[in-house]
Amino acid sequence: MVARWVMGVALGAVVATGAVAQGYKPGIGPSPGYQQPPGYAPPPNSGVVPFPGKPPPGGVPYGGQPGGPGPEQQAGVCTPQERELIENSFREAHRITAESLRQLEQNPELPQFRRFFGTAPHEQVRNTLRLTADWLRERRPASIACNHPNNCPQGRFAYASTQTTAMGFCTLFFNGQDTGFDSRAGVIIHEVTHVAARTRDIVYSPRNAMALAKSNPADAAVNADNYEYFIEAVRDNWNQ
């Protein structure tokens, strides 16, 4: 199934995408299996947590000015600082993806491969890594949203539309680290594998990804988190 944002037919309408939720990167805890498009405005009295008052670029106060854009139109706007952090993370994501591919080509016995892909075909994994590295080198999302209240339920790092390549980043991403699992560059890699190589979200978390590599290498070879953690493990020289 191809992941895509689901457009409600009426304001506030929610349509489930199906049994397999794809295209987003949750953190701890469950996340809903659907995404709203950027710019979607919550219906009145919907119980949606309001956007937490971040001033948009140009210093217009949240809430808008008379005649200016209203608060709904500000939702999801990235500050210049957020944009810079995201761009730096995209560059780092390209660097470590290309580096992991280089190391794998040099050493097919790389221990992190066995850890995250088990006995999956090397060629398939290298191909996904190559598509992801190429995308990161040449492209950027069609649009980027930051902390959009409707698209950032608690526990979500980021999300992407495989149809439009639009991406959004949530608080967990901005609070992320430079190294370790679920680093900022790693979260971007997760999303870009969806867009560039049509990976899926079969399981989440390092523990589940490693278990999947043992129990079902074919699934591990198409699961976004397995690529993210493989690349992060190579970067950090992690092999436990």
Minimum CB separation of residue 201 from Zn ion in Å reads 4
Specify the residue for token string 């953690």.
Answer: 229
- Angle, helices 206-215 vs 224-235, to 10°: value is 110
Q: Which letter does DSSP use for residue 46 in this model?
A: S
In the complex with Zn ion, the residue whose CB is nearer, 21 or 98, is: 21
Minimum CB separation of residue 61 from Zn ion in Å reads 35
Minimum CB separation of residue 162 from Zn ion in Å reads 10
Provide the edge-to-edge strand list for the sheet that holds 144-146: 24-26, 156-160, 167-169, 144-146
Site stretch for Zn ion (CB under 5 A), options 42-50, 60-68, 80-88, 220-228? 220-228
- Quick check: 129 binds Zn ion (CB under 5 A)? no
- Quick check: 144 binds Zn ion (CB under 5 A)? no
Sort 27 into a burial class: Cβ within 10 Å, 0-12 / 13-18 / 19+.
buried
Q: Cα 49 vs. chain centroid, distance in angstroms? A: 22
| Near Zn ion by CB under 5 A: residue from 21, 185, 224, 234 | 224
Contact 78, 152 (CB under 8 A): no
Return the half-sphere exposure (C-beta side, CA atoms, 13 A cut-off) of residue 52.
5
In the complex with Zn ion, the residue whose CB is nearer, 147 or 199, is: 199
**What is the spatial distance between Cα 237 and Cα 240, in angstroms, rounded to a whole number?**
10
63: left (phi over 0), alpha (psi -120 to 50) or beta: left
In the complex with Zn ion, the residue whose CB is nearer, 20 or 142, is: 20
The secondary structure element, H or E, covering residue 89 is helix 80-106
In the complex with Zn ion, the residue whose CB is nearer, 4 or 54, is: 4
Contact 232, 99 (CB under 8 A): no
- Quick check: 82 binds Zn ion (CB under 5 A)? no
In the complex with Zn ion, the residue whose CB is nearer, 77 or 224, is: 224
3-state SS assignment for residue 181:
coil
Cβ neighbours around 63 below 10 Å, total: 12
Minimum CB separation of residue 25 from Zn ion in Å reads 5
Number of amino acids touching Zn ion (CB under 5 A): 3
Binders in 8-47 for Zn ion, by CB under 5 A: 25
Minimum CB separation of residue 23 from Zn ion in Å reads 6
Binding track, positions 174-213, relative to Zn ion; x by CB under 5 A: ---------------------------x------------
In the complex with Zn ion, the residue whose CB is nearer, 110 or 195, is: 195
- Quick check: 228 binds Zn ion (CB under 5 A)? no
- The residues that touch Zn ion, with contacts defined as CB under 5 A, are 25, 201, 224
